[in-house]
Structure 1
Amino acid sequence: MLIADEFFLIAHNDIRGKAKLHPAATGLGLAGGLLGELVLYGHVTVSDGLVTIVDRRPPVDALAHTVLDQLIGEPRHQSARTWLSFLAQTATAAVGERLARAGVLRRQEGRRLLRTTVSYVPIDPNTAAWPATRMRVLLERSEPPPTLSDALLLGLIAAAGLSREVLWTAAPGAHHRLAGLVAALPPPLKELVVHTEAAVGAAVLRGAP
Structure 2
Amino acid sequence: MLLADEYFCIAREDWNGRPLLHPRALGLGLAGALLGELVLFGRIVIDDGEVYVVRRDPPADPLAHETLTQLLTQPQHREVRTWLAYLAETATDAVGQRLARAGVWRRVERRRLGRVRVSWLPADVNAVAWRPIRLAGRLISLEPIDVPDVVLAGLVSVTGLIGAVLWQPEHREVGVARLSAEVARLDQSLLHLLAFVEAAVGDAVLAPR
Q: TM-score interval w.r.t. the shorter chain?
A: over 0.9
The Cα of 1:178 is off from its aligned counterpart by: 1.4
Identity of aligned residues (%): 51
The Cα of 1:112 is off from its aligned counterpart by: 4.2
Q: 1:176-191 maps to which residues of 2 (within 5 A)?
A: 176-191=177-192
Q: Contact conserved, 2:103 with 2:124, CA < 8 A, in 1?
A: no
Q: Name the structure 2 match of 1:29.
A: 29
Separation of aligned partners in 1, 2:134 and 2:107: 25
Q: 1:23-102 maps to which residues of 2 (within 5 A)?
A: 23-102=23-102
The Cα of 1:106 is off from its aligned counterpart by: 1.2
Q: Name the structure 1 match of 2:165.
A: 166
Q: Name the structure 2 match of 1:154.
A: 153
For residue 38 of structure 1, what is the amino acid of its counterpart? L
Separation of aligned partners in 2, 1:118 and 1:112: 11
Separation of aligned partners in 2, 1:155 and 1:207: 26
Q: Deviations over 1:175-199 (max 9, x none)?
A: 1111112122111101100000000
Runs ≥4 residues deviating over 6 A: none
* Larger mean Cα displacement after TM superposition, 190-199 or 123-132: 123-132
Separation of aligned partners in 2, 1:57 and 1:160: 31
Is residue 103 of structure 1 aligned with residue 114 of structure 2?
no
Unaligned runs of 5+ in 1: none
Separation of aligned partners in 2, 1:114 and 1:154: 40
Q: Deviations over 1:134-190 (max 9, x none)?
A: 1111111111x1111000001111111111101111524111111112122111101
Distance 1:139 1:108, change over 3 A: same
The Cα of 1:111 is off from its aligned counterpart by: 2.7
**Length-normalised TM-score, structure 2:** 0.96
Over aligned residues, Cα RMSD in angstroms? Answer: 1.1
Matched residue SS, 1:117: strand
Q: Name the structure 1 match of 2:205.
A: 204
Q: Name the structure 1 match of 2:176.
A: 175
The Cα of 1:130 is off from its aligned counterpart by: 1.0
Q: Deviations over 1:100-126 (max 9, x none)?
A: 011111111113454111112111211
The Cα of 1:207 is off from its aligned counterpart by: 3.4
**Length-normalised TM-score, structure 1:** 0.96
For residue 167 of structure 1, what is the amino acid of its counterpart? L
Q: Deviations over 1:65-110 (max 9, x none)?
A: 1100000010010000100000000000000000001111111111
* Larger mean Cα displacement after TM superposition, 35-44 or 182-191: 182-191
Q: Name the structure 2 match of 1:127.
A: 127
For residue 60 of structure 1, what is the amino acid of its counterpart? A
Q: Name the structure 1 match of 2:17.
A: 17
Separation of aligned partners in 2, 1:140 and 1:200: 26
Matched residue SS, 2:52: strand
Aligned length: 207
